[in-house]
Structure 1
Amino acid sequence: MRPTKADAALKAGEKPEGLRLSAVEIIAGALSLVWLAAAALFFLILPTETEGGGFDTMGFVMTLLAVFLPIAVIWVAAIAMRSARIVREESRRLQAAIDAMRQTYVADRQARGAGGMDPTVEKKLNEIAKAAQKTETALATFTSARPAQAATRLAPAPKPEPGDDQPTLALGTSAEDMTPPIQRSDLVRALNFPDTQDDEVGFAALRRALKDHSARQLIQASQDVLTLLSQDGIYMDDLRPDRARPEFWRRFARGERGKAVAALGGVRDRSSLALTAGRMREDTIFRDAAHHFLRKFDQMLESFEPEASDEDIAALAETRTARAFMLLGRVTGAFD
C-alpha cells in the first residue's frame, strides 16, 4: 500500500530509540563535576579542625548539604528543561501529523465527491429511506383523505317556519365540523406516536387524533420533521432535555419570548444541535418543514394551554413532538 502524507508525518514524528544526551545534560554534568572538584579541593587543601577533637555530627551534615545540594539543584533544573523540550517536540510532531491527516481527509473527500458516494454511506442512506417509507405507509393507513374545500360558501339554511315539525339540516356541514373535539389525553398520546407496532393504545389515540383537522396537520408536520431528523441519526428518544416547569410553556403559549421562556430550550446534546443547525442552513426542504412544524405546534399550544392542567402540559412536554419542538426552537432562536 502506498504510504500517505499522514503516515509519513507520523513516522517522522516517532521518537528514536536510545538515550540521547542534549546540551542541557552535558552542561549539568560538567557543572556537577566542577562543583565536586571544587568541594574536594576545599576540604583536602583547607581542612578545618574541630575543638576538642570530637566528631561534629552537625558539621558533617552541613558539609554534605553544602556539597550535594547545589548538584541536586543543577539536575532539577536540567530535568525541567529537558521535559519542556520534550513537550515542545511532541507538540510539533502532533501538529504535523494533524495537518497531514487533515490534508489527506480533504483530498479523500474531494476524490469521493468527484468519483461518487462511498458504497457504505449509500447503503446506509438506502436503509434510512426504506425505513422512512415504511413509517409513512403506516401513518397513511390511519390518515383520512382531506375533503376538498368548496369554491363558494353556501348560504345559510332558512329558519323553520312555526308549526313545521321536521327540523332543517344546515347545508355545507362537513364530517370534520360534526366531529367532537379531541380529548387532551388523546392528543398528547398521539403526539408521542406509538412506541411499537403492537402499541394498540397509541394507535387508537393516533386514529382519533387524525380525525381532527388541526391535530392531523400537526401530526403530519411532526412526522415529516422526525423522519428528516432520523436521516442524520437524531432520534427523540436519545435526547434528554432539561425539564421546564409548566409555567414556562404557558408563557410561551401566551406570546412571551426571550429570556422569560429560555428554559424551554433545554436540549443540551451538542452533536444534535450542530447537525440540526447545519441541516437548517444547507437543506431548504428541511428548513421549510421545520418552520411549518414550529408554526403548527405554536398554534396547537395556544389553543391547548387555556384548558390544560399542569399535568397535561407536563405530559405534553415529554412527547417526541415536544422534544422536536425544543430542539428546533433552540436552533432557530425561538427561545432567545
Structure 2
Amino acid sequence: MTERKPVLMIGLALSAIWVVLLLGFWLLIPVRTDAETGGITRLVIIIGIVMPLILIWMAVGLAHAISDLRAEAAELRSDLDQLKQLASKPPKSAPPQSVPEPMPTQPLPAAQPRPAPAVAIAQPRQSAAAPHQASMDFDSPEPAPVPADTLVLALNFPDDADDHETISALRTALKEPETARVLRAAQDVVTLLAGHGIFMDDLPPEHVPPAIWRKFAEGERGKIAAKIGGIRDAGALEIVSALLRGDEIFRDTAHHFLRHFDTLLTRDLPRLEDVHVQALTDTRTARGFMLIGRAAGVFGQTEA
C-alpha cells in the first residue's frame, strides 16, 4: 500500500494538470461551431481529450502491477532464504544412548583360565501347578550361533544408510540374545568415544596372529595378553584413561562392554576359521575393546 500511494498521487496530479490545460485551451481558443466542424473532427477532439487520461491511468495500473510483482518476488526470496538457513543448520543430535546398569569396575581376571561356557538347560519345575510351563522351559531350543560372515559384518557396524549388507547382518545378529548384548554395549561405547572425538576408523591396530587371540580367548594372560590391544595412539589412550578415572557413566559402560566382548571371544572364536578371527579382530567393536582394554590395564598395563 505504501508503494501505491506515490503512484496514485502522480496519476491524480497528471490528470489534474491535463484537465487544467483543457480548460485553458477551451477558454483561450474559441471553439468553431460552423459546418466545418464535422463528425470526424469532433471524434478526434474527444479522443484527444480522453486519450491522455486513459494513458495516465493505464500507466498507474501498470505501476501497481509491477509493485505487486516486486512484493511477491521479495516474499519468495525471503522464503528461499529461510529454507537455505534451515538446510544449512546441523541436524539435531541423536538422543543419548541408554546407559547400561552399573557393573563392577574391576578389570578382567588376569591369570585364571576360564572354562567354556556351559549350555544352560532349564530344569522342569517340581510344582504340580504348572507342569505345562515346565515342559515348555525344558524343551525351548538354544538359539543358533550367528554365521561367521554375518557376525564380522555386524561387529563392524554399517558405514552409512546405504550399507545394506551390513545392516542386514546387524539385524540378523541382534536376534541372538548374547550377540545382541555385545552389539548394544559396543554401540554405547563407540557413541561415547565419538562424542570425545575418538573414531575407530582412525585407530588401525597392530597385526596379531589369530593363534594369539585364540589363546587369549581360552584364558591365557601374561605375555599373551600383552600382545593383544595393539592400539597405541597416545592421544586416544590419554582421553580414555581420563574418562575411566573421572566419568562414572563412561567407566560403567566401558567395563560392561569389556565383559560382554570377552564373553563373545570365549564363545565364538573356537568355531571360527582363522580368516574370520582376523577379520573380527579388526572390526570397530574389536578396536574399541583393544583401546579401552589397554587404557584400563586389561592387557597387563596399569591405568594412566
Fold equivalence (TM over 0.5): yes
Q: Write the distance in 2 (CA, Å) between the matches of 1:174 and 1:187.
A: 27
**Number of the residue aligned with 1:192:** 156
Give the C-alpha shift of residue 171 in structure 1.
1.6
Instruction: Work out which of the residue numbers 70, 74, 95 in structure 2 matches 1:133.
Output: 95
Q: Which has the higher contact order (CA 8 A, sep 6+)?
A: 2
Q: Is the 8 A contact 1:280 1:286 kept in 2?
A: yes
Q: Secondary structure at the match of 1:185?
A: helix
CA offset digits 1:277-300 (Å, max 9, x no partner): 000000011001111100001100
Q: Is the 8 A contact 1:294 1:325 kept in 2?
A: yes
Q: Is the 8 A contact 2:205 2:282 kept in 1?
A: no
Q: Is the 8 A contact 1:132 1:227 kept in 2?
A: no
**Number of the residue aligned with 1:236:** 200
Q: Write the distance in 1 (CA, Å) between the matches of 2:183 and 2:229.
A: 21
Counterpart amino acid of residue 287 in structure 2: R
Q: Write the distance in 1 (CA, Å) between the matches of 2:183 and 2:290.
A: 16
Decide whether aligned partners of structure 1 residues 256 and 132 sit closer, same or farther in structure 2, where only a CA change above 3 A counts: farther
Give the C-alpha shift of residue 131 in structure 1.
3.9
Q: Write the distance in 1 (CA, Å) between the matches of 2:243 and 2:164.
A: 34
CA offset digits 1:46-74 (Å, max 9, x no partner): xxxxxxxxxxxxxxxxxxxxxxxxxxxxx
Decide whether aligned partners of structure 1 residues 294 and 245 sit closer, same or farther in structure 2, where only a CA change above 3 A counts: same
In structure 1, stretches of 5+ residues that fail to align are 1-126, 138-151, 157-168
Q: Write the distance in 1 (CA, Å) between the matches of 2:138 and 2:159.
A: 36
Equivalent positions of 1:1-336 (< 5 A) are: 130-133=92-95, 155=125, 170-172=135-137, 177=141, 179-336=143-300
Give the TM-score normalised by structure 1.
0.50
Q: Write the distance in 2 (CA, Å) between the matches of 1:252 and 1:265.
A: 11
Q: Secondary structure at the match of 2:263?
A: helix
CA offset digits 1:7-47 (Å, max 9, x no partner): xxxxxxxxxxxxxxxxxxxxxxxxxxxxxxxxxxxxxxxxx
Counterpart amino acid of residue 251 in structure 1: K
Q: Write the distance in 2 (CA, Å) between the matches of 1:220 and 1:173.
A: 28
Q: Which runs of 4+ in 1 moved over 6 A?
A: none
Decide whether aligned partners of structure 1 residues 178 and 244 sit closer, same or farther in structure 2, where only a CA change above 3 A counts: closer
Q: Write the distance in 2 (CA, Å) between the matches of 1:220 and 1:266.
A: 23
After superposition, the CA RMSD in angstroms is 2.8
Counterpart amino acid of residue 133 in structure 1: P
Compare the two structures and name the one with the higher helix fraction: 1
Q: Percent identity?
A: 44
Give the C-alpha shift of residue 329 in structure 1.
0.8
Give the C-alpha shift of residue 261 in structure 1.
2.4
